[in-house]
A and B are shown apart, each in its own frame.
Chain A
Amino acid sequence: MTPAHGSAGIDEKWAIDLMAYRDGELDSSRRNEVGRHILECVPCQSLLRDFGKVGNRLRENADEDASRLAARPVWPGVRRALAPPAGERKAEARTRRTPFQAFRWAFALPAILLVFLGAILYDSIRPAPAPEGAVIVGLVESPDPVFLFQQRGSSVTVIWVFEPQPAPPIKEEARST
């Protein structure tokens, strides 16, 4: 691209390329092209010099301001802002509990119910000794041993699904009667 240096000054597109040249943002081929032109062009050299002055002045101003502020510490204020007040800290500690801590009652309640139901279930299914004074009056064929008991002196027949303890002596007693 050929630069246009009319009466209105340097063409804007070209001036942007000059700026990018100064900032080291042009690719090498374009950089060479612009660089060669600058060597021979006084208005472009002047523009670049002025851009340089602007940059220098900005840095001088900024350094002046920054040196005035350098003595002001930043960390104490940041630290104060990051550390919550005592009351909030307590509340925060509550909110920082682990999920298990926060829902421990939600976990505990089903656990208690489970233990309770388990106890009832175990009680209902655990092998129990045969009723005292009962005699086996029958045996039903089934995958599980099922015995029929009858209380002595009673007409009530008890069906006992689980193996009675102790079974053999009661069986013999039943045969002898």
Chain B
Amino acid sequence: MDPEERDLVRAARSGDEDAFRRLVERTQSRLTRLLRGMVRDDDEAMDLVQETYIKAHRSLDTFREGSAFGTWLHRIGVNAAIDQLRKRAALAESSLEGASSAEGDAPDPAGAAERPTPDRLLEGEEAGKALRRALGSMPPEHKATILLRELEGLSYEEIAEITGAAVGTVMSRLFYVRRKLREALREHR
């Protein structure tokens, strides 16, 4: 943790609202990108980002200064997103079971907007959508693992710390997701 961030965390802990605002501003773009990638819905992502900061503020006392603030924040955010995705899946299973299985798609609020249409024929755009669809059908922990690696560039050990999994599990999840996404891109071609 850099000295400035450490000072901001200390000040925020002692009740300095401006220090916490600065911490939010420093970290929000990366957190938003990560959580949006997980839940694939703008409003839901913004709610999760907000919820993450509120939770973080309330548990600032539990933050250990030896660890990185960003990693700690990501752990809170990723766990919140995983919970959200599980709730969403449970809700979809109980109420929309027939509809979703008929479509053969995972529950995905943004999915309808991403189906190919005559207006969306650009190669890159379609490849992006194929990847999004494939990612959308994966378990939340797998999504978190690949996004923490590809978007945040975190090491296997850091990912293991955030997701609460063993390093070996992180490796096998990463491999599984990459293989699936590779297949999705190949099928699209």
B103 at the interface (CB under 8 A from A): no
135-174 of chain B: CB within 8 A of chain A: 135, 146-147, 149-151, 155-156, 171-172, 174
In the complex, chain B residues whose CB is within 8 Å of the CB of A23: 149, 155-156, 174
What CA separation (Å) do A68 and B46 show in the bound complex?
11
Roughly how many angstroms separate A51 CA and B24 CA in the complex, as a whole number?
Answer: 33
B109 CB, nearest partner CB in chain A, Å: 13
Name B30's closest neighbour in chain A (CB-CB): A66
Tell me the interface secondary structure of chain B in the complex: helix
A78 touches B37 (CB 8 A): no
Interface residues of A in 47-81 (CB under 8 A from B): 47, 50-51, 53-55, 57-66, 68-70, 72, 74-75, 77-79, 81
Number of inter-chain CB pairs below 8 Å: 105
CA distance in complex: A60, B105 (Å): 23
CB nearest to B157 among chain A residues: A25
A105 to B25, CA, bound (A): 46
Residue of B nearest to A57 (CB): B131
| CB contact between B156 and one of A25, A69, A72 (< 8 Å): that residue | A25
Residue interface mask A31-52, B partner, CB < 8 A = 1: 0000000000000000100110
Q: CB within 8 A of A65: which of B37, B50, B175?
A: B37
Interface residues of A (CB under 8 A from B): 12, 15-16, 19-20, 23, 25, 47, 50-51, 53-55, 57-66, 68-70, 72, 74-75, 77-79, 81-82
Q: A-B pairs with the 6 shortest C-beta distances?
A: A66-B33, A54-B181, A55-B150, A78-B53, A58-B150, A50-B182
